[in-house]
């Protein structure tokens, strides 16, 4: 199904094999294979309705897969809910961020997982750890960790959301269109941050519609086409046009779905 | 959210700097920034209280500006403050409990009936009343948080239902006297003078020590701390306010050559202070409190963060109703009796007004327990001063309505201003 052009990389952190998912009569994902390697940014691209959101929601445990195999660090695992995903070290940064405007940066980063001494919140420890995490990501754009999130810019808010995802020794961070609503300078900021996550050894999945983003940060590109994995390729092996063709037609020359498969997918 | 604005913030500071070291000047500038940004805090309540004291003081200097009336005012305000504290929890969620006034009345009725008609011991009576509050809050929360009925409708139904329950408990048209000393002394007895001064010292030292300790632990952890001059100024300001208030209450407040001496801090004052400390701790130092703010700020974000939103809502409604019962007990103690007019709609509106004037938002996510006290003081001044100025209850009702609208308008405007300035 998928054609992988892979060299000498580390073993995959997350591997999906033969994933299927239907909502009633609609077959959303068909025999999807997908690999995420540690220390790499894997771009997940595809047109609207290609199944990107469904795929990540299944990885996050929000929907169950119908069938197929999930390997995490080489071991087969079952993900029955968001808690299972979190336990494995999978964190998702949603497009609408899910931050509380009326709370400050530290409170948001620890929301739902506060640190305690006895019954009281351990504010100093939380602030220290939040500060350390932001520093490790080389984030220097926040005036204070104690300012409310409502006073932050779009890029800073995205930064806080991403920092929250890596606070918990997570291994795989999935970012759903993190630059969609951002200006040029802020997009740059966030993409640098995405790069640094990978440099720290995390597996990063970046969902995006923006080809510039893809070629700027991605090591690997996975193209979904109408629910099928058209191809997962190394970013350096393809060019802009080929990726666009994979997204819109499911194939590009030798790459991608064979004509018959593409036609079948088209019918579906 | 423009790129230029972002860049200006980028170049401004980084995490290595320690803001707030600049002393009082910088702290004052920061406060002024917050106010301009729509975060008014307790400012409207403080200004309101000062203006009202001046207005009533000028119009009725002989009856309003007396020590007797000042003690009266605290007694009048105490029940409203406690009711408002409960409403703060509900308002923080962005919900409302219109039935709180009649919950207070129902609690008072249960207290009166069990104490006077059935001769229960007072702790048992109070426990029964408080338990009723828990049940009422739980029932409201069940309908709001689990079934999804708007709290406005649910609590309006309870408003009517509890009014009926109260009438049935008291019996048609009756008034139940309360003779139990323990219950009556809360509102009618005063602390010995020495104990009053001790209370003042405990409040000031407690605040000074706990805020110093917070700075100390932050410093030890290498985190940015506010300057000590700011800390000293805050402690000093609190000390002045507390000492002046306690001093006024320590004076003999009977008319000249009266046979008995009435002086000292009413017992209800330490009760209110204890509630403020305990509930503020709950709201600002525990996970539960943090989650209350989160649910009020963005319920969906709270849910995704793994917070059990219906549970948080349930606990808030239970706290609201239980504190309403406490307010009802205070009302019964003050009136020495329970009647169908105890608590009710007027008390509820005063309490909502108190919370909102104090700075708690009707839109959820913003508010503090101490708001209930500062706002409650303003409301108590109005409730106390207005009858001295005009006897017409029609005029009093209209002015009370206007004050509530004014407070809600300030809330709405500051919210819009906050949205416009990105706070």
Confidence at residue B311, expressed as pLDDT on a 0 to 100 scale: 95
Q: Which of A112, A154, A156 sits opposite B305 (nearest CB)?
A: A112
Total tally of structural domains belonging to chain B:
1
User: Is residue B3 pLDDT above 80, yes or no?
Assistant: no
pTM (predicted TM-score)? 0.86
Our CA-based measurement puts residue B14 at a distance from the nearest CA of chain A, in whole angstroms, of 5
Best-predicted range by mean pLDDT among A160-164, B40-44, B314-318?
B314-318
**Residue B205 token pair:** 């030292």
Tell me the pLDDT tens digit for each residue of A26-52. 888 989 999 999 999 999 998 888 888
Q: Which of A103, A107, A154 sits opposite B1 (nearest CB)?
A: A154
Q: Which of B3, B13, B223 sits opposite A183 (nearest CB)?
A: B3
User: Is residue B83 pLDDT above 60, yes or no?
Assistant: yes
In a domain, B149, yes or no: yes
Interface residues of B toward A, Cβ cutoff 8 Å, are 1-3, 5-7, 9-10, 12-16, 19, 217-218, 220-224, 281, 285-287, 290-291, 293-294, 296-298, 300-302, 304-307, 365-366, 418, 422-423
Which residues in chain A have their CB less than 8 angstroms from residue B9's CB?
141, 143, 153, 156
Confidence at residue B334, expressed as pLDDT on a 0 to 100 scale: 92
In a domain, B279, yes or no: no
Average pLDDT of chain B, as a whole number:
87
Q: What is the set of domains in chain A, with CATH numbers?
A: 1-89+171-268 (3.40.50.300), 99-169 (no CATH)
Q: Across the interface, do B298 and A100 touch by the CB < 8 Å criterion?
A: yes
How many interface pairs between A and B have CB atoms less than 8 angstroms apart? 119
Q: Across the interface, do A100 and B297 touch by the CB < 8 Å criterion?
A: yes
Our CA-based measurement puts residue B223 at a distance from the nearest CA of chain A, in whole angstroms, of 7
A205 pairs with which residues across the strands? A42, A174
User: Is residue B319 pLDDT above 80, yes or no?
Assistant: yes
In a domain, B10, yes or no: no
Confidence at residue A9, expressed as pLDDT on a 0 to 100 scale: 64
Single out the residue of B189, B72, B118, B145 nearest to residue B320, CA to CA.
B145
Our CA-based measurement puts residue A254 at a distance from the nearest CA of chain B, in whole angstroms, of 42
Q: Which of A112, A124, A155 sits opposite B217 (nearest CB)?
A: A124
Tell me the pLDDT tens digit for each residue of B193-223. 899 999 999 999 999 999 999 899 888 888 8
**Residue B280 token pair:** 């503020």
In a domain, B380, yes or no: yes
Query: Residue B421: pLDDT band by 50, 70, 90 thresholds?
Result: low
Query: Residue A118: pLDDT band by 50, 70, 90 thresholds?
Result: confident
In a domain, B270, yes or no: no
**Residue A19 token pair:** 């994933």
Query: Residue A207: pLDDT band by 50, 70, 90 thresholds?
Result: very high
Find all residues with CB under 8 Å of B252, minimum gap 6, and list them: B67, B261, B262, B263
Confidence at residue B258, expressed as pLDDT on a 0 to 100 scale: 67
User: Is residue B344 pLDDT above 90, yes or no?
Assistant: no
Query: Residue B5: pLDDT band by 50, 70, 90 thresholds?
Result: very low
In a domain, B415, yes or no: yes
Q: Is the distance from CB of B296 to CB of B368 less than 8 angstroms? A: no
In a domain, B55, yes or no: yes
Q: Across the interface, do A112 and B5 touch by the CB < 8 Å criterion?
A: no
Q: What is the ipTM of this complex?
A: 0.82
Tell me the pLDDT tens digit for each residue of B148-191. 999 999 999 999 999 999 999 998 768 899 888 888 888 888 88
In a domain, B90, yes or no: yes
Query: Residue A97: pLDDT band by 50, 70, 90 thresholds?
Result: low
A180 phi/psi in degrees, rounded to 5: -55, -40
Mutate: best of B26, B93, B298, partner A, most A CBs <10 A: B298
SS3 A195: helix
A232 phi/psi in degrees, rounded to 5: -120, 115
Confidence at residue B72, expressed as pLDDT on a 0 to 100 scale: 85
Domain span including residue B61: 42-189+310-420
Find all residues with CB under 8 Å of B289, minimum gap 6, and list them: B282, B283
Q: Is the distance from CB of B114 to CB of B124 less than 8 angstroms? A: yes
A90 pairs with which residues across the strands? A172
Tell me the pLDDT tens digit for each residue of B95-143. 999 999 999 999 999 999 999 889 899 999 999 999 999 999 999 999 9
Confidence at residue A48, expressed as pLDDT on a 0 to 100 scale: 86
Tell me the pLDDT tens digit for each residue of A51-84. 888 898 889 888 888 888 999 998 999 888 777 8
Q: Which of A82, A124, A141 sits opposite B9 (nearest CB)?
A: A141
3-state secondary structure labels for all residues of chain B: CCHHHHHHHHHHCCCCCCCCCCCHHHHHHHHHHHHHCCCCCCHHHHHHHHHHHHHHHHHCCCCCCCHHHHHHHHHHHHHHHHHHHHHHHHHHCCCCCCCHHHHHHHHHHHHHHHHHHCCCCHHHHHHHHHHHHHHHHHHHHHHHHHCCCCHHHHHHHHHHHHHHHHHHHHCCCCCEECCCHHHHHHHHCECCHHHHHHHHHHHHHHHHHHHHHHHHHHHHCCCCCCCHHHHHHHHHHHHHHHHHHHHHHHCCCCCCCCCCCCCCCECHHHHHHHHHHHHHHHHHHCHHHHHHHHHHHCHHHHHHCCCCHHHHHHHHHHHHHHHHHHHHHHHHHHHCEECCCCCHHHHHHHHHHHHHHHCCCCCCCCCCHHHHHHHHHHHHHHHHHHHHHCCCHHHHHHHHHHHHHHHHHHHHHHHHHHHHCCC
Our CA-based measurement puts residue A97 at a distance from the nearest CA of chain B, in whole angstroms, of 8
**Residue B310 token pair:** 């219906």
User: Is residue A6 pLDDT above 70, yes or no?
Assistant: no
């Amino acid at each position: 199904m998928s054609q992988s052009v892979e060299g000498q990389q580390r073993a995959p952190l997350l591997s999906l094999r033969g994933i299927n998912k239907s909502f009633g009569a609609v077959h959303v994902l068909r025999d999807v294979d997908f690999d995420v390697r540690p220390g790499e940014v894997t771009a997940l691209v595809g047109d609207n309705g290609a199944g990107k959101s469904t795929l990540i929601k299944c990885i996050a445990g929000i929907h169950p897969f119908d069938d197929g195999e999930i390997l995490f660090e080489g071991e087969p695992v079952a993900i029955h809910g968001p808690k299972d995903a979190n336990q494995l070290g999978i964190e998702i940064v949603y497009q609408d961020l899910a931050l509380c405007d009326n709370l400050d940066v530290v409170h948001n980063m620890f929301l739902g997982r506060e640190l305690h001494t006895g019954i009281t919140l351990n504010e100093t420890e939380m602030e220290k750890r939040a500060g350390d995490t932001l520093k490790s990501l080389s984030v220097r754009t926040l005036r204070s960790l104690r300012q409310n999130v409502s006073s932050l810019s779009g890029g800073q808010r995205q930064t806080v959301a991403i920092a929250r995802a890596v606070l918990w020794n997570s291994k795989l961070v999935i970012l759903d269109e993190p630059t969609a609503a951002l200006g040029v300078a802020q997009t740059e900021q966030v993409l640098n941050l995405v790069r640094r996550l990978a440099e720290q050894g995390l597996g990063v999945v970046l969902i995006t519609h923006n080809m510039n983003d893809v070629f700027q940060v991605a090591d690997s590109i996975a193209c979904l086409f109408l629910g099928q994995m058209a191809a997962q390729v190394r970013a350096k092996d393809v060019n802009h046009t080929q990726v666009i063709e994979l997204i819109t037609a499911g194939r590009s020359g030798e790459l991608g779905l064979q004509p018959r498969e593409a036609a079948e997918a088209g019918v579906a | 959210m423009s790129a230029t604005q972002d860049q200006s913030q980028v170049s401004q500071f980084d995490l290595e700097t320690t803001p707030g070291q600049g002393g009082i000047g910088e702290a004052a500038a920061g406060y002024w920034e917050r106010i301009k940004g729509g975060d008014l805090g307790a400012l409207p309540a403080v200004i309101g209280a000062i203006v009202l004291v001046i207005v009533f003081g000028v119009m009725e200097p002989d009856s309003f500006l007396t020590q007797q009336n000042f003690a009266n005012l605290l007694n009048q305000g105490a029940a409203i403050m406690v009711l408002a504290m409960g409403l703060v929890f509900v308002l923080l969620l962005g919900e409302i409990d219109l039935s709180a006034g009649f919950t207070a009345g129902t609690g008072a009725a249960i207290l009166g009936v069990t104490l006077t008609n059935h001769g229960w011991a007072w702790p048992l009576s109070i426990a029964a009343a408080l338990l009723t509050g828990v049940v009422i809050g739980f029932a409201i929360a069940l309908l709001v948080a689990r079934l999804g009925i708007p709290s406005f409708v649910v609590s309006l139904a309870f408003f009517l239902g509890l009014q009926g329950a109260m009438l049935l408990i008291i019996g048609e048209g009756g008034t139940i006297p309360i003779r139990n000393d323990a219950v009556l002394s809360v509102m009618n007895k005063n602390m010995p003078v020495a104990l009053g001064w001790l209370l003042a010292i405990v409040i000031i030292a407690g605040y000074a020590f706990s805020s110093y300790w917070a700075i100390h632990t932050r410093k030890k952890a290498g985190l940015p701390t506010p300057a000590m001059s700011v800390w000293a100024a805050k402690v000093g300001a609190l000390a002045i306010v507390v000492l002046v208030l306690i001093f006024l209450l320590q004076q003999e407040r009977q008319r000249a050559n009266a046979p008995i001496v009435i002086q000292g801090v009413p017992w209800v004052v330490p009760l209110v202070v204890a509630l403020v400390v305990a509930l503020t701790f709950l709201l600002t130092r525990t996970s539960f409190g943090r989650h209350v703010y989160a649910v009020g700020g963005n319920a969906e974000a709270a849910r995704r963060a793994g917070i059990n939103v219906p549970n948080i809502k349930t606990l808030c409604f239970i706290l609201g109703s239980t504190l309403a019962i406490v307010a009802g007990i205070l009302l019964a103690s003050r009136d020495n009796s329970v009647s169908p007019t105890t608590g009710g709609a007027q008390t509820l509106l005063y309490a909502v007004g108190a919370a909102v004037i104090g700075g708690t938002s009707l839109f959820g996510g913003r508010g503090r327990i101490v708001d209930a006290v500062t706002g409650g003081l303003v409301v108590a001044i109005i409730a106390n001063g207005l009858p001295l100025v005009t006897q017409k209850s029609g005029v009093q009702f209209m002015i009370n309505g206007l004050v509530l609208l004014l407070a809600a308008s300030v809330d709405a405007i500051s919210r819009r201003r906050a949205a416009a300035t990105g706070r």
